């Protein structure tokens, strides 16, 4: 394993944007990846509008700009695998096939929501797709995923567990305990870090001596890869390799995907007024590395798609999102008694 301490051009918003290499992958798969990224972005834009208007009352953390990470990693998983997300997990929920209406209903507190309206944006749940929940506790799902990987190994299953967390979570002790246990027990888990260079509003260079977090995996002898998280192809291929190793009993993996969120830590704004280094110039530079546009340009260059076909796709997906939002708005709120029903377990035949 190469010891990486700095990200170099991967973290430089002004570095040249290299064209995506499609690696002879079939157009059908790449087009579906593109469709999913567009679905994630348009759904999150709708959430942002709900936040701005005051319709959404719960905290909402948007990952607009980071869509390629979710689509790349989820494409390597099956519905039997177990993915766990953090507070910024709409993208993973959607990439695994989570129902859009249920997501919007959850954000609006409706009983048809993914968590029956009791959790909001940060507590999504769709185990039938492989999405086993998201929580706002930073790094909270990392040891849970290692527990799921331990259970899979003890059961003789080929299930792989995947916790998705940010660069800020790497400063939590539970992450390092989880890495250590996963390594010494050769557990089938792939740790995925969305390194967007900020923990809330604080630049990674003000929190850590190096901007690459893969060094933590290397310290525990865990196979790691560092990729351009705005390149869905590179992300998918790296995840494919790490998942295959873990599934074959060769031990854990660690994927560091370098990306950038266009919106702020929470809410719809860009947060250019609160970050120590975040600026309008920086955000604009990262927008030029748009993971969606880069894939579109590559598909057009290979003559797999036209600009008109892409526009038609975005229009169709926007219709799906609009319909899901409206259905969520029409759904009922849970009854007051559900507050108790969702907290206490009831014995069979009991009250």
Each residue's pLDDT tens digit, 124-179: 999 999 999 999 999 999 999 999 999 999 999 999 999 999 999 999 999 999 99
CB atoms within 10 A of CB 347: 6
Q: Give me 292's structure tokens.
A: 């969606």
Q: Give the architecture-level CATH label for domain 26-341.
A: 3-Layer(aba) Sandwich (3.40)
- Cα–Cα distance for residue pair 25/197, rounded to 1 Å: 30
Q: What is the pLDDT of residue 4?
A: 64
Which of 11, 92, 26 shows the shortest CA–CA distance to 256?
A: 11
270 neighbors 284 (Cβ within 8 angstroms) = no
Residue 56's φ and ψ, nearest 5 degrees, are -85, 120
Contacts of 203 (CB under 8 A, 6+ apart): 197, 275, 276, 277, 278
Q: What is the pLDDT of residue 275?
A: 72
Q: What is the pLDDT of residue 286?
A: 94
Q: What is the pLDDT of residue 3?
A: 59
**pLDDT values of the chain reduced to their tens digit, one per residue, 351 residues:** 555 678 999 999 888 888 899 999 999 999 999 999 999 999 999 999 999 999 999 999 999 999 999 999 999 999 999 999 999 999 999 999 999 999 999 999 999 999 999 999 999 999 999 999 999 999 999 999 999 999 999 999 999 999 999 999 999 999 999 999 999 999 999 999 999 999 988 889 889 989 999 999 999 999 999 999 999 999 999 999 999 999 999 999 999 999 999 999 999 999 988 777 888 999 999 999 999 999 999 999 999 999 999 999 999 999 999 999 999 999 999 998 888 887 777 777 655
Q: What is the pLDDT of residue 171?
A: 94
| Beta pairing, strands 131-134 & 161-166 | unpaired
- Cα–Cα distance for residue pair 273/301, rounded to 1 Å: 38
81 neighbors 162 (Cβ within 8 angstroms) = yes
CA atoms lying within 13 Å on the CB side of residue 164? 29
User: How is residue 198 annotated by DSSP?
Assistant: E
Q: What is the pLDDT of residue 2?
A: 57
Q: What is the pLDDT of residue 166?
A: 96
The SS3 assignment for 118 reads coil
Global model pTM greater than 0.85: yes
Residue 165's φ and ψ, nearest 5 degrees, are -150, 175
CB neighbour class for 97 (10 Å; exposed up to 12, middle 13-18, buried from 19):
middle
122 neighbors 61 (Cβ within 8 angstroms) = yes
Q: What is the pLDDT of residue 116?
A: 94
- Cα–Cα distance for residue pair 287/212, rounded to 1 Å: 21
Q: What is the pLDDT of residue 236?
A: 98
- Cα–Cα distance for residue pair 323/114, rounded to 1 Å: 17
């Amino acid at each position: 394993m190469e010891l990486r301490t700095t990200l170099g051009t991967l973290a430089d918003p002004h570095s040249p944007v290299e064209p995506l290499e499609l690696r002879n992958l079939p157009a059908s798969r790449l087009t579906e990846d593109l469709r999913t990224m567009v679905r994630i972005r348009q759904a999150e834009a709708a959430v942002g509008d709900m936040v701005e208007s005051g319709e959404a009352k719960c905290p909402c953390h948007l990952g607009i700009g980071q869509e390629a990470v979710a689509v790349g990693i989820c494409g390597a998983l099956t519905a039997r695998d177990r993915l766990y997300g953090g507070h910024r997990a709409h993208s993973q929920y959607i990439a695994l096939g989570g129902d859009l209406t249920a997501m919007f209903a959850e954000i609006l507190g409706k009983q048809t929501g993914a968590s029956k309206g009791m959790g909001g944006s940060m507590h999504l749940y769709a185990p039938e797709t492989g999405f086993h929940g998201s929580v706002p506790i930073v790094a909270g799902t990392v040891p849970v995923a290692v527990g799921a990987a331990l259970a899979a190994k003890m059961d003789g299953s080929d299930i792989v567990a995947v916790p998705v967390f940010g660069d800020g979570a790497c400063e939590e002790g539970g992450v390092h305990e989880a890495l250590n246990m996963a390594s010494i027990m050769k557990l089938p888990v792939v740790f995925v870090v969305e390194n967007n260079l900020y923990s809330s509003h604080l630049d990674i260079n003000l929190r850590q001596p190096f901007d690459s977090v893969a060094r933590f995996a290397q310290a525990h002898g865990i196979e790691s890869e560092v990729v351009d998280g705005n390149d869905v192809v590179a992300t998918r291929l790296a995840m494919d390799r790490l998942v295959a190793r873990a599934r074959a009993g060769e031990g854990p993996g660690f994927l560091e995907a370098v990306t950038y969120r266009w919106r702020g830590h929470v809410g719809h704004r860009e947060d250019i007024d609160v970050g120590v280094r975040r600026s309008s110039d920086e955000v604009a530079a990262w927008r030029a590395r748009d993971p969606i546009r880069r894939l579109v340009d590559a598909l057009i260059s290979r003559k797999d798609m036209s600009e008109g076909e892409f526009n038609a796709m975005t229009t169709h997906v926007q219709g799906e999102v609009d319909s899901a939002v409206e259905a969520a708005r029409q759904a009922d709120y849970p009854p007051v008694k559900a507050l108790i029903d969702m907290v206490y377990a009831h014995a069979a035949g009991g009250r």
